[in-house]
Chain A
């Protein structure tokens, strides 16, 4: 069964550094998402992406965040200058249309 893959599984970075989290969504999917989960808390929506542009973003997704789909397969989340509070699990997800979201296994980002 096709799946969403995310790399790396764990990223440790220093405060103020840039990080890029990578995702390969399921190939025929059209809608792409990033969510995050701070330890023990709920899964929070960050951004949705369709037709090569952002469809919607949450309040969390400020100017420090950006997303890109540089080719037909990768979908990336960039955090320009990381803060301690950015430490979380970041999940990429994709869907075809009004179908279930399929999630990757996440990238654990630790900002020190």
Chain B
């Protein structure tokens, strides 16, 4: 049962343009959503998060949008830079069984072309 899905395994974008990464979830209990960036041979690095009481959160070039009715979130990167090339994971979190549970999507490999 894949509760968090990233349907695009890869995405290529020209430098300076917008990158849009998408994520869908199925469990309405999730109330906190995160995006992580991962380079090869490194651990995932936290990028940006959003609580379910919001529909948008912005941090510099990164904006996360949450559509609760559609159970969909997206990450926008504007403008995209070659250094943004990495695998991006979305994650959803809920309090369950006495702990915060974080479920990760399968990842989208972003390639920003110079």
Contact = CB atoms under 8 A, between A and B. Distances in A.
B62 to A, nearest CB: 13
B105 A100 contact: no
Nearest to A57: B97
Interface stretch (A14-22, A41-49, A70-78): A41-49
Given A31-B99, A56-B97, A98-B93, A43 B104 contact: yes
How big is the A interface, by class?
20 to 34
A55 B102 CA distance: 13
Contacts, number: 65
A100 to B, nearest CB: 4
A31 B91 CA distance: 17
B78 to A, nearest CB: 22
B100 A42 contact: no
B79 interface: no
Interface in B49-81: 49
B45 interface: yes
Interface string A53-85: 001100000000000000000000000000000
B98 interface: yes
A90 B32 CA distance: 24
Contact of A45 (B42, B45, B97, B102): B102
A98 B42 contact: no
Interface in B32-51: 32, 34, 36, 41-46, 49
B106 A105 contact: no
- Which of A6, A56, A108 counts the most B-chain CB atoms under 10 A from its CB? A56
Given A41-B106, A42-B104, A42-B105, A101 B99 contact: no
B101 A101 contact: no
B96 A56 contact: yes
Interface of B: 32, 34, 36, 41-46, 49, 89, 91, 93, 95-107
